[in-house]
Structures are given as C-alpha cells and as structure tokens.
C-alpha cells in the first residue's frame, strides 16, 4: 500500500511516515493544508491510504481555518467522483470528547477536532451505505509521547507511545474489504505511576 501523510515532518506524522515508508506532504516541503487543498487532493488520487494528520490550530488564529476538515471534504469528494477505493485515516483528539469554556483561548482547538470527528464519521457512513468505495476511519488520541509534549511544563511522563498509534493505523487498513473501522479512541492516564 502506498501512503500519503500530511505533517509527516515531526511527531506522530514522522513516526507514521517511517513505519509505512510514506510520502510526506507538509509545510516543510511546500504543502499547507489551508492553502494547498486542491493540490493535496489531486496528489491523493495516486495513493492507497491518505493520513490526514497535519493540524492548522485553533480556529481563532489567523492562519487556521478548519484545515483538516476542509481537506477531508475536498479529498473525499474527489475520491467519490473518481469511484476510488482506498482508505482515509483522520487523526483526531480526545479534546473533541469534552466541552469546556474557551479560556484559555487555546482550548478552542477542540472545535475543529470535533468538526473533524463528525465529518469523518459522515464518510464512514457513506461507505456503510454503499455511497462510496473508500473507507474512512478516525483515530482519536490523547496526549502523545513526542518531543514537543515532553518539552511542555504540563508533561507528566505519560503519553501515547507512537508505536501504538501506528498499530491503530495498521488495524484500520488491514480490515476485510467489506469492513470499516469508524473510530478508535484511546485515553492516557496522565497521572499513571510506573510500578
């Protein structure tokens, strides 16, 4: 299978890129999910698996505009038009599971992740009802064990091992042709103490 991943230049994206020998489409090589959606969608047609990983940030930021959601829509519509088979994997966040006040302002990152969850599940339903030939899955994860997470003052020593997320992607793309995983949600006990 040939994999295309957005934001595969660091963190989870890089781990997925290495695990699947995938092609990276990120700002580091001239692809921005807010400005290059058409180019990214056209490129996706030659891949078996598209991983929608790059996140443009909380919607109130000037550079953010629900990039993951809009990119999913553009790619899925193009795949539908071309009767394409394959798999779209969306990387979500457990932030979509709770509603909190928008202060501090970075908490608004939950809103585009909630929109991504809903839209991803719409495309899963389209597969289930035989409206599209491709599968769409959402991987909803908690804090990741990455260099960036470890650099933050809130780091407790607990985060998802990136290898576990790689295994989740393998599970999604390894299902029988008639079966699609809608969503995998994984939580971390941030206060867990190693025994």
Domain ranges (residues) in the chain: 3-186
User: Which DSSP helix (H) or strand (E) runs through 61?
Assistant: none
Quote the tokens at residue 60: 């109130």
Instruction: Please give the mean pLDDT across all residues of the chain.
Output: 95
User: Which DSSP helix (H) or strand (E) runs through 113?
Assistant: helix 110-128
> Which DSSP category does 47 fall into?
-
Which residue is listed with tokens 């695990």?
19
Q: State pLDDT tens for residues 110-152.
A: 999 999 999 999 999 999 999 999 999 999 999 999 999 999 9
pTM (two decimals): 0.95
* Cα separation, 119 vs 113, whole angstroms: 10
Question: Which stretches within 82-176 are classed as H helix?
Answer: 110-128, 147-150, 162-173
CA angle at 34 for the pair 59 and 62, rounded to the nearest 5°: 40
Q: State pLDDT tens for residues 74-115.
A: 999 999 999 999 999 999 999 899 888 888 888 888 999 999
Is residue 148 packed enough to be buried (19+ CB in 10 Å), middle (13-18) or exposed (0-12)?
A: exposed
Quote the tokens at residue 92: 């979500």
Is CATH 3.40.50.720 the classification given to domain 3-186?
yes
Q: State pLDDT tens for residues 145-188.
A: 999 999 999 999 999 999 999 999 999 999 999 999 999 999 99
pLDDT at residue 195 is higher than 80: no
Task: Tell me what pLDDT residue 175 has.
Answer: 97
Q: State pLDDT tens for residues 53-69.
A: 999 988 888 888 999 99
Nearest Cα residue to 90 out of 169, 2, 194, 193: 169
Task: Tell me what pLDDT residue 104 has.
Answer: 86
Residue 15: alpha-carbon gap to chain centroid: 13
* Cα separation, 6 vs 52, whole angstroms: 6
- Determine if residue 54 is left, alpha or beta; phi over 0 gives left, psi from -120 to 50 gives alpha, anything else beta: beta
């Amino acid at each position: 299978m040939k994999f295309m991943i957005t934001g595969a230049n660091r963190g989870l994206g890089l781990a997925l890129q290495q695990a699947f020998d995938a092609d990276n489409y990120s700002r580091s090589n001239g692809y921005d999910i807010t400005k290059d959606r058409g180019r990214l969608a056209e490129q996706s047609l030659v891949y078996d698996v598209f991983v929608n990983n790059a996140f443009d940030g909380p919607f109130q930021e000037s550079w953010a505009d629900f990039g993951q959601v809009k990119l999913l829509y553009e790619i899925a519509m193009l795949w539908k038009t071309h009767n394409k088979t394959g798999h779209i994997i969306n990387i979500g966040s457990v932030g979509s599971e709770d509603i909190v006040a928008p202060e501090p302002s970075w908490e608004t990152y939950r809103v585009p992740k909630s929109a991504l969850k809903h839209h991803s599940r719409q495309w899963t339903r389209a597969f289930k009802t035989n409206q599209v030939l491709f599968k769409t899955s959402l991987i909803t994860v908690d804090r990741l064990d990455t260099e960036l997470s470890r650099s933050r003052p809130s780091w407790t020593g607990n985060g998802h091992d990136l290898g576990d997320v790689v295994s989740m992607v393998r599970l999604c793309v390894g299902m029988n042709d008639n079966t699609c995983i809608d969503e995998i949600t994984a939580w971390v006990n941030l206060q867990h103490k190693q025994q």
